[in-house]
Amino acid sequence: MKKIKCATNEGIDARVVEVEATLTKGLPSFSIVGMVSTAISEAKERVKSALLSNEFSFPPKRITLNLSPSELQKSGSHFDLSIALLILLNESADEFDEWFVFGELGLSGDVKENIQLYPLILSLANQGVIKKAIVPQESVEKLAKIPDVAFFGVSSLTQAVEILQHQESANPSCESSAIAYPFYELGEEKYYYIKEYDEDFRDVKGQEVAKRAALIAAAGFHNILLEGSPGCGKSMISSRLRYILPPMEMPEILDSAKLQVLEGKEPDFKPHRPFKSPHHSSTLASVFGGGSHKARIGEVGLANNGILFFDELPYFSKSVLESLREPMQENKIHISRVNAKVEYPAKFLFIGAMNPCPCGNLLDANKECRCNELEIQKYKNRLSEPFLDRIDISVVMQNVSADDKPSFSSKELHKKVVEANIFRQKRGQKNFNAKMADSELDVYCVMSAAANEILAMAIERFQLSFRSIKKVQKVSRTIADLVSSEVIEKEHLLEALSYRRR
């Protein structure tokens, strides 16, 4: 009995599937077992036609294909090529256990690309289970971005047969291609960034406090809430913040490309972190993912390692806002359905933007607010205290003035973010400050005696919760990183406290 490896999706991750074949004497038949989808069942006709079209003989035997593990639901037409090769090479003395084979077969025996291939193979590479694979030739250029995997591109069934018959002499179609963007190196890791600022902070005039808060949020990946009158620059700052985020490691770039494929886009392999901005009318399923039969990824999962921006925050449904508390705290999201239970990583920087009242003029010195006290209270009560407790930085935006001038450019702010992250990484801290585990606080958030005194007074005066205390410490750590200070000083803590929601 011969085996070849393939894979199927389980959520956004891949599971290895062993394709086994036996050809025995008996009435000629062809069956595929192992909880297979319709696309795999239809492979019987595609495989039979491909073999006969290329002058191969179709064995007049009882052919049984098993896709193991049998309790796992499998789907996708990329199993075609592995099934055909097992039938053709069943009598061969060679073993194929270490080979992964992917590809859909045309009726004439040509090997076609499948949209599932990139996320499947990337997931297998991240798990460290794949070393060499036969793939469609047209997929090779895209797949070559994945490191440490030898890809053998084929355009026909005949070419795939030749590779497995001459395994020792077969050469990969390409080497892993490097990503051509600036990077800095620490230890054995490379951190890539891009000096393209399609939207620049130079365009934001005034709002120095908000820009400073955005810099801190970007450097430490802190959740931020911007409150202010309509047109004061909340959305401008939010859209520009994505361009000054910290550099990305190669696994993050590849993971971002995988999410682009799952979203139906062509991956660009740029070290730009994702930016997702769902509309306030979005449903719970579209934001968090779901589906009655197969759980699909939503906006929260697609924002992993990037930004999730909620404009007009109080107008999102209560169910969406309260469900957001889990990924904001745990950096992952669980979707439970009768047919599927899936966990997605969701490590994002959350940005919320809101007006101070329904009409938006409460903080405007030149316009009259048309809302009564009940309407204002009802508007603000849409955001619960547990939800607001997960916000690290809150900023009330200033009124727009004719004297406002531009200050820092995105390039200057990005340089500060990069320097702060290098400083963080050199002390051995892997996670962003905002995503730091509780056990890491005592190790990395070392405070001076004066800062400890101020924190004790703040806890007593403001009745801070345990979560709020930790968030103040983490924001202080980022502020200290921006000035390359090993110890959190009094002025760093005071600035962090100034961003606490009142």
Around 108, how many Cα atoms within 13 Å sit in the side-chain half-sphere?
Answer: 3
442-500 residue pLDDT tens:
999 999 999 999 999 999 999 999 999 999 999 999 999 999 999 999 999 999 999 99
Provide φ and ψ at 153, rounded to 5°: -80, 135
**CA–CA distance, 463 with 465 (Å, rounded to integer):** 7
pLDDT at 176 over 80: no
352-401 residue pLDDT tens:
999 999 999 998 888 899 999 999 999 999 999 999 999 999 999 988 88
**CA–CA distance, 294 with 502 (Å, rounded to integer):** 43
Cis-peptide, bond into residue 147, ω within 30° of zero: no
Provide φ and ψ at 227, rounded to 5°: -120, 130
Domains of the chain plus CATH, in order, are 2-165 (3.30.230.10), 189-408 (3.40.50.300), 436-502 (1.10.8.60)
Bridge-based pairing state of the strands 341-345 and 183-186 = unpaired
Confidence of residue 169 (pLDDT cuts 50, 70, 90): confident
Per the listing, tokens 């730009």 go with: 272
Bridge-based pairing state of the strands 248-249 and 296-297 = unpaired
Per the listing, tokens 């390359």 go with: 484
Burial class (CB in 10 A: 0-12, 13-18, 19+), 331: middle
The mean pLDDT value for 92-107 works out to 90
CB atoms within 10 A of CB 75: 16
130-154 residue pLDDT tens:
999 999 999 998 888 888 889 999 9
Provide φ and ψ at 395, rounded to 5°: -130, 130
Confidence of residue 55 (pLDDT cuts 50, 70, 90): confident
Around 441, how many Cα atoms within 13 Å sit in the side-chain half-sphere?
Answer: 15
Nearest to 391 by CA among 223, 237, 241, 238: 223
- DSSP annotation of 470: H
Element (H, E) at 183: strand 183-186
pLDDT at 126 over 70: yes
pLDDT at 292: 58
336-360 residue pLDDT tens:
766 667 788 999 999 999 999 999 9
Confidence of residue 178 (pLDDT cuts 50, 70, 90): low
The mean pLDDT value for 31-58 works out to 91
Confidence of residue 57 (pLDDT cuts 50, 70, 90): confident
Confidence of residue 78 (pLDDT cuts 50, 70, 90): very high
pLDDT at 342: 79
196-205 residue pLDDT tens:
899 999 999 9
Per the listing, tokens 């620490």 go with: 186
**CA–CA distance, 298 with 310 (Å, rounded to integer):** 14
**CA–CA distance, 40 with 46 (Å, rounded to integer):** 10
Averaged confidence pLDDT in the chain: 91
Query: Comparing 25-39, 229-243, 334-348, 435-449, which segment has the lowest mean pLDDT?
Result: 334-348
243 alpha carbon, distance to own chain's centre: 17
Per the listing, tokens 């005066």 go with: 461
